Structure 1
Protein backbone atom coordinates (compact mmCIF):
# COMPACT_ATOMS: atom_id res chain seq x y z
CA UNK A 1 0.00 0.00 0.00
CA UNK A 2 1.34 3.44 -0.86
CA UNK A 3 1.06 6.56 1.26
CA UNK A 4 -1.22 9.41 0.17
CA UNK A 5 0.46 12.29 -1.64
CA UNK A 6 1.89 14.98 0.67
CA UNK A 7 0.23 17.75 -1.33
CA UNK A 8 -2.97 17.84 -3.34
CA UNK A 9 -4.27 21.00 -4.96
CA UNK A 10 -7.94 20.94 -5.89
CA UNK A 11 -8.74 22.42 -9.29
CA UNK A 12 -11.87 22.56 -11.40
CA UNK A 13 -12.11 21.24 -14.93
CA UNK A 14 -11.71 24.77 -16.32
CA UNK A 15 -8.35 25.26 -14.63
CA UNK A 16 -6.82 21.79 -14.92
CA UNK A 17 -4.85 22.51 -18.11
CA UNK A 18 -3.69 25.85 -16.76
CA UNK A 19 -2.42 24.31 -13.54
CA UNK A 20 -0.75 21.22 -14.94
CA UNK A 21 0.92 22.72 -18.02
CA UNK A 22 4.59 23.15 -17.25
CA UNK A 23 4.32 21.47 -13.86
CA UNK A 24 7.63 19.88 -12.96
CA UNK A 25 7.19 16.56 -11.11
CA UNK A 26 10.08 17.48 -8.81
CA UNK A 27 8.49 20.81 -7.84
CA UNK A 28 5.54 20.19 -5.50
CA UNK A 29 5.49 23.56 -3.73
CA UNK A 30 7.77 25.91 -5.67
CA UNK A 31 7.25 28.49 -8.39
CA UNK A 32 6.57 25.81 -11.04
CA UNK A 33 4.04 23.89 -8.94
CA UNK A 34 0.25 23.70 -9.37
CA UNK A 35 -0.02 25.66 -6.10
CA UNK A 36 1.95 28.54 -7.63
CA UNK A 37 -0.35 28.52 -10.64
CA UNK A 38 -3.36 28.67 -8.36
CA UNK A 39 -1.82 31.56 -6.42
CA UNK A 40 -1.34 33.49 -9.67
CA UNK A 41 -5.05 33.02 -10.38
CA UNK A 42 -5.95 34.40 -6.95
CA UNK A 43 -7.00 31.07 -5.44
CA UNK A 44 -7.78 30.76 -1.77
CA UNK A 45 -6.55 28.23 0.77
CA UNK A 46 -8.99 26.08 2.73
CA UNK A 47 -7.47 24.32 5.72
CA UNK A 48 -9.45 21.31 6.93
CA UNK A 49 -8.11 19.90 10.17
CA UNK A 50 -4.76 21.65 9.74
CA UNK A 51 -3.30 24.73 11.34
CA UNK A 52 -1.46 27.66 9.82
CA UNK A 53 1.81 26.15 11.02
CA UNK A 54 1.38 23.29 8.53
CA UNK A 55 0.31 25.33 5.49
CA UNK A 56 3.01 25.72 2.85
CA UNK A 57 1.00 28.11 0.68
CA UNK A 58 2.00 31.29 2.48
CA UNK A 59 5.40 31.46 0.81
CA UNK A 60 3.56 31.85 -2.52
CA UNK A 61 1.37 34.71 -1.32
CA UNK A 62 2.05 38.05 -2.92
CA UNK A 63 1.98 41.50 -1.38
Structure 2
Protein backbone atom coordinates (compact mmCIF):
# COMPACT_ATOMS: atom_id res chain seq x y z
CA UNK A 1 0.00 0.00 0.00
CA UNK A 2 2.76 2.45 0.86
CA UNK A 3 4.40 1.70 -2.48
CA UNK A 4 1.26 2.75 -4.33
CA UNK A 5 0.99 5.94 -2.27
CA UNK A 6 4.67 6.66 -2.92
CA UNK A 7 4.22 6.10 -6.65
CA UNK A 8 1.21 8.43 -6.77
CA UNK A 9 3.18 11.06 -4.85
CA UNK A 10 6.06 10.69 -7.31
CA UNK A 11 3.68 11.18 -10.26
CA UNK A 12 2.19 14.30 -8.67
CA UNK A 13 5.62 15.70 -7.92
CA UNK A 14 6.77 15.03 -11.48
CA UNK A 15 3.66 16.72 -12.90
CA UNK A 16 4.21 19.76 -10.67
CA UNK A 17 7.86 20.10 -11.68
CA UNK A 18 7.03 19.73 -15.38
CA UNK A 19 4.21 22.29 -15.09
CA UNK A 20 6.62 24.71 -13.42
CA UNK A 21 9.40 24.17 -15.96
CA UNK A 22 7.07 24.46 -18.95
CA UNK A 23 4.90 27.13 -17.34
CA UNK A 24 4.51 29.28 -20.46
CA UNK A 25 3.59 26.36 -22.69
CA UNK A 26 1.13 24.97 -20.15
CA UNK A 27 -0.52 28.38 -19.75
CA UNK A 28 -0.78 28.78 -23.54
CA UNK A 29 -2.23 25.27 -23.96
CA UNK A 30 -4.84 25.86 -21.23
CA UNK A 31 -5.76 29.24 -22.72
CA UNK A 32 -6.16 27.76 -26.22
CA UNK A 33 -8.18 24.85 -24.82
CA UNK A 34 -10.64 27.10 -23.01
CA UNK A 35 -10.97 29.56 -25.90
CA UNK A 36 -11.78 26.73 -28.31
CA UNK A 37 -14.35 25.27 -25.93
CA UNK A 38 -15.99 28.63 -25.25
CA UNK A 39 -16.40 29.12 -29.01
CA UNK A 40 -17.86 25.61 -29.40
CA UNK A 41 -20.13 25.96 -26.35
CA UNK A 42 -23.29 26.88 -28.25
CA UNK A 43 -22.72 24.41 -31.09
CA UNK A 44 -22.09 21.20 -29.12
CA UNK A 45 -24.91 20.13 -26.78
CA UNK A 46 -22.71 17.57 -24.99
CA UNK A 47 -20.05 20.18 -24.28
CA UNK A 48 -22.74 22.60 -23.15
CA UNK A 49 -24.17 20.04 -20.71
CA UNK A 50 -20.68 19.24 -19.38
CA UNK A 51 -19.79 22.89 -18.77
CA UNK A 52 -23.18 23.62 -17.22
CA UNK A 53 -22.89 20.68 -14.83
CA UNK A 54 -19.35 21.69 -13.83
CA UNK A 55 -20.53 25.22 -13.10
CA UNK A 56 -23.20 23.87 -10.74
CA UNK A 57 -20.57 22.26 -8.52
> Which structure's residues are more often helix, by fraction?
2
Normalised by the size of structure 2, how large is the TM-score? 0.23
Q: Identify the structure with bigger relative contact order (alpha carbons < 8 Å, sequence gap 6+).
A: 1
TM-score, length-normalised on structure 1? 0.22
